Structure 1
Amino acid sequence: MSFIRPVYNFIELGLEDYEENEMVLEIVHDLMTFFDTTTNCTCQRSKKDLRTCFEKVGFKRFFERYMEIKALEKSQFELFIKTQLMSFEISNKKDKTRHNYRYSFNISLPLCKTAYLKLCNLNDYKLSTLQNHYQENGLTERIHGNTGHASRRNSRVFVDFNITSSIKQYLTQYGIINGLPSPMRHRNDSRNFIYLPTGENYMIVYNKYKENFYLEHDDKDEKIISYSTFRRIWQETIPTLKFQPPASDICETCNDFKSQIRIAKSNLDQYYIIKNQYDEHQKKADLERQHYNNNIEQSKHDLSIAHICYDWAQNVTIPYSLQQVGSIYFKSTFAVHLFGVCKTEDGLN
């Protein structure tokens, strides 16, 4: 079953200055999932303020700091972490071999270790490694053991200008044939984005590129670039070619209530009012779902009852392609809605 990512309102989140591309959408979804799970916070909370440590920071500030850290080079990132460890460290006069740290977002907003790991996109092992290196070597740069040694991989392809140009040319042509003009262009961005169908991803396009590569090269021993290099060249040379993000079938009312609950956690009275309204909405949804399921069960055993479910899937516009031939291209577009019909008694589509 394919995963459907929820649709997030960037204006409500305060992220209107960010373009809604695939990378940003993935990060927003990942952080929103983290924020929604209050058990991620191991801080001791007061009864008057139910907010987690990361909710006190706020999603926008947390997201922006996350993006800043993510943009650092490896050496810069490790120096940044070790510099923070130096300020977070709690001195232990009785046992100098033990090292404890008090993590924080800034001087007034402490963070639990789980939230700090998420903020820096770290795992526990990586953080422990940097802590040990800091204690033994201070702020000096970590040097990998293989530094200075020749690579043992003979299958690597040297990426030159010709390879980069050929990949860019292939992707440009692929976008012309399979892509659609973007309806989601940011108001402050003059670039034209081309969106590929929702069902495709980087790996699918890479596999098609490999098939095309071997068709053009008779020599099967000819080396081809790796998937990671293909994706990096794509993002560097033609960042305007993206994938259309899937729509969401999650209840819009539920999303609104969840957003209000997150905001109201600093006001306990308002929090419980909104939570009661949300619970009431869920009860009504459960009754409707039960009525729906009862109709399905009755239709299984009573042939006089027919239950048909219409599932709105997506819509397409006519014309559907920049390459469409004929006078219809110059006419106004029409939205054609696609519906799926399900035979509910045996679950067949």
Structure 2
Amino acid sequence: MSQENTPDGPFTPTVEPTRLFRSPVVKLSSKKAHELEEMQECNLEKLVEYVRAAIEKPFCFDLINKPGRRTTCTCLQDLGEQIDDEEVEACAKSLFLFCKLDYAERKRMVKEWIRSGLAAQLMFQGMQRETTTRVFLLPGSTTRLICRNALCQFIGYGQKSWKGVVKLVKSGEDPVHGLKNKVGNKLNSKSMDLFHVFFTSMKEHALPRATKIVRTEMVDGVNTLVELREEEKDIVELPSSMTKRGLYNRFIANQGWKIKWDNKGRLLKKTEIPDTEQKVTASQLPSWSSFRRFWKSEYPKLVIQRPSADICDQCYVFANKHKYCEHYSPSELNRNNKKKGKHQEEEEDRI
């Protein structure tokens, strides 16, 4: 491939706006209000520059069939001569909203773009090639048409991503992330064995599960059928005094390590427990997120009992009867009781 046909500048196939802005956008919800606005403005300015760099290109690059090859399509050049600054900003805002979507939602949006593009190609069949290739709307516009390569450049899609969505369009399947409800690829077999041993041992601390026995009305009107209501089979409940983070600390301690968290739940450091064998190195310790994902995917029936369910029948009645008393101080309770006593005396006098 000659240097003339090689993409240059910020608009190469390797540049993907969803990857550049996805991580900062995900963290927007945890920022303060003024920081959130500043980050949004900064990302929008970068996306505006991104769009301007795109429409300055005199041709499109093939990103699907032969990535990196220069095509004869000039839709980007024509676009740069026609659109104004407002349309550029509208395109940047649309791309910013696209970056904020999760994996499945982005795939669904691209899926609808492809379906509408295929329908437009059928309508324009028999016309000039330029008309049959420019069947996709520019993000943020309702009138500007571009080719699929230009659309891929704007949304940051390459050959694999585009053909994957085309396959979903043909099969009619819904896009699902490959690691949904699964353990991450970074978790090795040794860590998985350690997890299995730990969670199997945790089942020994399970409590007897309370059941809800009810009678249901039969067809003949006789209430003789007894069954369980709202009961899931094979549920293993751990004591309500346990927590997920506490179990993770116990798992790390079993490997001979101790971890320290800050007040926001972030991991600060890992230290060795004295006079204890370290089964793995500090770098080999599974992360907190891997621990939670493994628990959710491999042991979904192992749950921690709700504190509200950890009481007997009499305690449950007592809790319902006095659940509002904790919001009042003793002096306020005495004052309320005196008022009630006065009202009762007045009613008795009236009678």
TM-score w.r.t. length of structure 1: 0.35
TM-score w.r.t. length of structure 2: 0.35
Greater relative contact order: 1 or 2 (C-alpha under 8 angstroms, separation 6 or more)?
Answer: 1
Compare the two structures and name the one with the higher helix fraction. Answer: 2
